């Protein structure tokens, strides 16, 4: 996992530093699905005791990044294709409806913001930066969805985006070909919103956009040996 020590940020804690370090390495797939987390080894590499590392791992377990296996211990959570598909189908429905119900209400400043984000997405795609791309991708969809008048739906969406953070980042890391495709689909979605296309058309397009990423990632997961980044 690398030998560089991690120190707590000013005002932070060793547990927080360990958490951020491990979470980042999981998200970046430096620690791939199925990788064992040996607490003593991690503690030595981070130049701290086992206690804060254990606290960090428990926090990661609560967030779904880590799971405990009997006779194995802590390991990076594997992505189950069926669970992944079900989660992304749910997200597709939520994003599609939120985008559609907000399309008639969204303002020009929000559309300008979405355009700027998508241009930045294109740059991140060219750099192959999965982590930055996925963060911007969420910002793009959040900008379009935020115009929906259904505040309960938006709150549910925020929870789903947070819960699926790891999976979404892994999706683009698994299928880099989706970078350019996703950018082009964003452009098409923006045109639908800008031209005030029928709500049903916007909803279907936004939903299918998310599902394309899901299906591409599943194909990659099924072809990828377990434990490989």
pLDDT at 212: 93
Give 56-88 pLDDT, tens digit per residue: 999 999 877 898 888 889 999 877 778 888 888
29 touches 217 (CB < 8 A): no
What is the residue-averaged pLDDT of the chain? 86
| pTM for the structure as a whole | 0.70
pLDDT at 9: 46
* Mean pLDDT, rounded, for 88-106: 96
Kindly provide the b/e burial profile for residues 194-205, where b requires at least 16 CB atoms within 10 angstroms of the residue's own CB.
eeebeeeebbeb
For every residue of 16-44, DSSP letters joined together read HHHHHHHHHHHHTTSS-TT-B--HHHHHH
pLDDT at 123: 92
């Amino acid at each position: 996992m690398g030998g560089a020590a991690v120190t707590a940020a000013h005002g932070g804690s060793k547990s927080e530093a360990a958490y951020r370090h491990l979470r980042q390495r999981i998200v970046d797939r430096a620690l791939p699905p199925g990788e064992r987390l040996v607490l003593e080894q991690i503690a030595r590499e981070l130049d701290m005791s086992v206690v804060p590392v254990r606290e960090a791992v428990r926090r990661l377990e609560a967030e779904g990044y880590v799971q405990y296996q009997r006779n194995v211990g802590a390991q990076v959570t594997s992505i189950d294709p069926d669970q992944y598909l079900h989660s992304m189908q749910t997200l597709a429905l939520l994003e599609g409806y939120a985008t559609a119900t907000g399309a008639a209400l969204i303002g020009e400043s929000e559309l300008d913001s979405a355009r700027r984000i998508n241009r930045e997405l294109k740059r991140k795609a060219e750099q192959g930066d999965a982590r930055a791309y996925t963060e911007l991708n969420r910002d793009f969809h959040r900008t379009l969805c935020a115009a929906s008048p259904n505040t309960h739906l938006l709150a549910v969406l925020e929870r789903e985006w947070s819960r699926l953070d790891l999976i979404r980042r892994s999706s683009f890391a698994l299928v880099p070909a989706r970078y350019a495709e996703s950018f082009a689909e964003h452009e098409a979605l923006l045109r639908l919103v800008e031209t005030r296309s029928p709500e049903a058309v916007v909803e279907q397009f936004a939903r299918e956009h998310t599902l394309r990423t899901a299906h591409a990632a599943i194909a990659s997961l099924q072809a990828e040996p377990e434990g490989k980044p």
